[in-house]
Amino acid sequence: MANFNLFASARGASVPAATSRNEAGGQAYARRPQTALALYAATGCLNNTYYASAEEQLDHVLSLCAQVEPAFVAKTAIHTRQRGHMKDMPALLLASLTARDGAAFERAFGRVIDNGRMLSTFVQIVRSGRIGRKSLGSQPKRLVRQWLDNASVEQLLAAAIGQQPSLADVIKMVHPKPADAERAALYAWLIGKPFDEAALPAKVRAFEAFKRSTDAPMPKLPFQYFTSLPLSVAHWTQLARTVSWQTLRMNLNTFQRHGVFDDPAVVTEIAARLADVDEIRNARVFPYQLLSAYHAGGELPAPIIAALQDAMEIATGQVPALQGEVVVAVDVSGSMSASITGYRKGATSKVRCVDVAALIAACIQRTHAAARVMPFDTEVRGLRLNPRDSVTTQAAQLASLCGGGTAVSAPLAQLNREKAKVDLLVMVSDNESWRDTRSGGATATMREWAQIKARCPDARLVCIDLQPTATSQTVESPDVLHIGGFSDAVFDLLAVYAAQGSDAARWVERIGSIPL
């Protein structure tokens, strides 16, 4: 008689054998180069992660760029910047094209380099030598000059904040030719050379006057121009009223320290700004950033804290109202304790992968109260959420479970044991499954998914990946969708797939359809 353990019959369709090992040593499926590049671009912040160093991420991204067509690299850079709101990764993808395809590089440049921060990051990456060159070269220099020439005074003043390289360094590298006396004076002022104050733009003249005497009117300039000056409470209050929404969110504790919130009327005004629908949508804020501000605001006035909760509800308001039997599996294993944007000395976000995963689950349950949330590590953990609680409260309850090994198949196995009906299963994980690994054949997750499909033929699976990894526990197919990232683009793709199913355009297909 044949070995029953070896040749046991499996329910459902046959499933492909694993083709790789993940960083945790578990069986996995290697992603196609285009899919892998899209995931790295949407989740990679070029910092150290739980399983990979920043150096390893960089090397892997550059290797993936070399494996796909330059046009797809350019389109991925555009998508990741415009829809994913990433910073370093779009600049890296764009920079990689400078030594490979000048036409694709030029067509993507203006759509990726949309502010001074992106310009500085792009120049820094090119001059580092990590993409095969150390100088900008004639074409990048020309495009950088064009950006400077076309930038407004406000854009240049915003771009002048920051170092490595500073805007002054960039100007000295590319030598833009000023179109008039005002631009000539502004360039001189930016690079620290003698300038004609009378020819400066009005805002800069006003700032020079304010530096000489803070009794002068306070010009509307970026927040950072004033932080080293001797400001009064009235000045700090004016800044709180006029800075960008993102700057306000990031500096609430600073404004608190300088007495801005001692006035109840000002508290009411600032709370209204924080919860303003239009300002939130225009700010391109990540929901996890609001979660970070909420957790960091323990000493802030209650109306400010409430406004941050309101802002979270607004920022996640486009989560689709899903139909049918919906299950959200949330990875709460130990590796999910890693910072969502990776580790970098002095710049590590306190928000963890598990916080973002919990946030996604809470948002789905808010719009679909019957959705079942299944937190898991090596097994499903018991937790019942109250759909009436705020998103932040539900997310905190889920995240409190973090710890333990990883078996991505655990929630699927429990659904099979229960013979539960499933229409849509949303899996939020870093994909580093290892406790359910096998010596050969398919991953345990694919085996369990095959059983769910045998029982529920119309079931669909959405895998949301929060970390840059080259492997997955599932194989993408008409009924399995892979999405990567932590911006609102994730909810957009989920909504379309939930409505259209296998007819919906895939993530990589969406990127590929971007016109160059």
The two tokens of residue 15 are 């499933």
Across 262-271, 334-343, 435-444, the highest mean pLDDT is recorded for 262-271
Q: For residue 165, is the peptide bond before it cis, meaning its omega torsion is within 30 degrees of 0? A: yes
CA-based radius of gyration for the chain: 25
169: pLDDT strictly greater than 70: yes
Who contacts 101 (Cβ-Cβ below 8 Å, separation ≥6)? Answer: 70, 71, 74
Q: What is the DSSP track for 385-448? A: --TTS-HHHHHHHHHTT--S---TTHHHHHHHHHT---SEEEEEE-----TT--SSSS-HHHHH
Residue 499 has pLDDT above 60, yes or no: yes
**pLDDT of amino acid 366:** 77
Return phi, psi of residue 480, to 5°.
Answer: -130, 120
**Cα 27 from Cα 437, distance rounded (Å):** 6
What value does the mean pLDDT of the chain take? Answer: 86
**Mean pLDDT of the 369-379 span:** 91
* pLDDT value at 442 more than 80: yes
Residue 332 CA: distances (Å) to CA of 69, 179, 341, 406? 37, 57, 17, 8
Lowest mean pLDDT among 78-87, 171-180, 278-287: 278-287
The CATH superfamily assigned to 318-512 is: von Willebrand factor, type A domain (3.40.50.410)
pLDDT beyond 50 at 359: yes
Q: What is the pLDDT of residue 343?
A: 63
More confident residue, 396 or 156: 156
Question: Taking 60 as the threshold, does the pLDDT of residue 209 lie above it?
Answer: yes
Give residue 318's pLDDT: 59
pLDDT digits (tens, 9 = 90+) for 3-55: 444 444 445 557 889 999 888 889 999 889 998 888 888 776 666 555 567 78
Least confident of 15-19, 117-121, 260-264, 359-363: 359-363
320-358 pLDDT, tens per residue? 677 889 999 999 998 888 887 766 666 566 778 888 888
Give the dihedral sign, CA 126/348/82/33. Answer: positive
CB 330 within 8 A of CB 357: yes
| Average pLDDT over every residue of 192-208 | 95
Domain ranges in the chain are 318-512
- Per-residue pLDDT, 360: 83
